[in-house]
C-alpha cells in the first residue's frame, strides 16, 4: 500500500491510497481518480517523502500523543454537541442546503438539520462530509 500526495486542477491537495504506483497509474488513466472536494478528474501527483524502513523498531512515544479514556470521549462529544448548537438549523432542508454549499451556490457556513440514513449515504457518496451528532439526553425527552 502506498500513499500519494495528489492535487486537482483547482489546487485542492489530498492523499490517495493505492496498492502500488502502477495501480494509481491504471486508475488515473481510466478516469477513476477524482478530487474529493470538487470532483475534478484532472489530477496530478505531488512530490512526497517515501517511507523507508530501516529495520530498527519504532520507539513508542514517551506519552500517548492523544489523551484517551472516558473523560476525553465525553469532552469530545460535548464539544461536537456545542458546535452543533452554534450551527444554523436548516431542518429537513439539510440535504439540499449542504449540497448547495458544497456546489458553491450558497455561502459556506456551519449548518445542522435532519437527514435520513439514505440521505447521509448519498451525501457521503457525493464527497460531501457530514457527521451525525447524537442528541444530548435532555434533548430526548
Which residue bears the cell 491510497?
A: 17
| 63: number of Cβ within 10 Å | 7
Residue 13, beta-bridge partner list: 7
Query: Residues 6 or more apart from 12 whose CB is under 8 A from it?
Result: 35, 36, 37, 38, 40
Task: State pLDDT tens for residues 11-39.
Answer: 888 888 888 888 889 999 998 999 888 88
- What pLDDT is attached to residue 96? 95
**CB–CB of 7/43 below 8 Å?**
yes
Q: What is the largest CA-CA distance in the chain?
A: 57
Does the pLDDT at position 1 exceed 90? no
Q: What is the pLDDT of residues 49-90, one digit of tens each?
A: 665 566 666 666 555 555 556 667 778 878 888 888 888 999
Looking at the predicted structure, is the pLDDT value of residue 123 above 70? yes
Contact 24, 55 (CB under 8 A): no
Distance CA 132, CA 112 (A): 9
Amino acid at each position: 500500500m502506498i500513499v500519494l500526495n495528489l492535487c486537482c486542477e483547482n489546487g485542492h491537495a489530498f492523499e490517495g491510497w493505492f496498492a502500488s504506483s502502477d495501480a494509481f497509474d491504471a486508475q488515473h488513466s481510466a478516469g477513476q481518480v477524482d478530487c474529493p472536494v470538487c470532483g475534478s478528474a484532472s489530477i496530478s501527483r505531488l512530490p512526497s517523502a517515501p517511507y523507508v524502513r530501516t529495520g530498527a523498531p519504532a520507539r513508542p512515544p514517551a506519552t500517548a500523543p492523544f489523551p484517551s479514556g472516558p473523560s476525553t470521549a465525553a469532552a469530545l462529544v460535548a464539544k461536537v454537541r456545542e458546535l452543533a448548537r452554534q450551527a444554523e438549523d436548516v431542518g429537513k432542508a439539510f440535504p439540499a442546503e449542504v449540497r448547495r454549499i458544497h456546489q458553491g451556490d450558497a455561502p459556506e457556513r456551519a449548518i445542522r438539520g435532519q437527514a435520513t440514513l439514505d440521505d447521509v449515504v448519498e451525501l457521503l457518496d457525493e464527497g460531501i462530509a457530514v457527521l451525525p451528532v447524537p442528541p444530548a439526553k435532555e434533548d430526548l425527552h
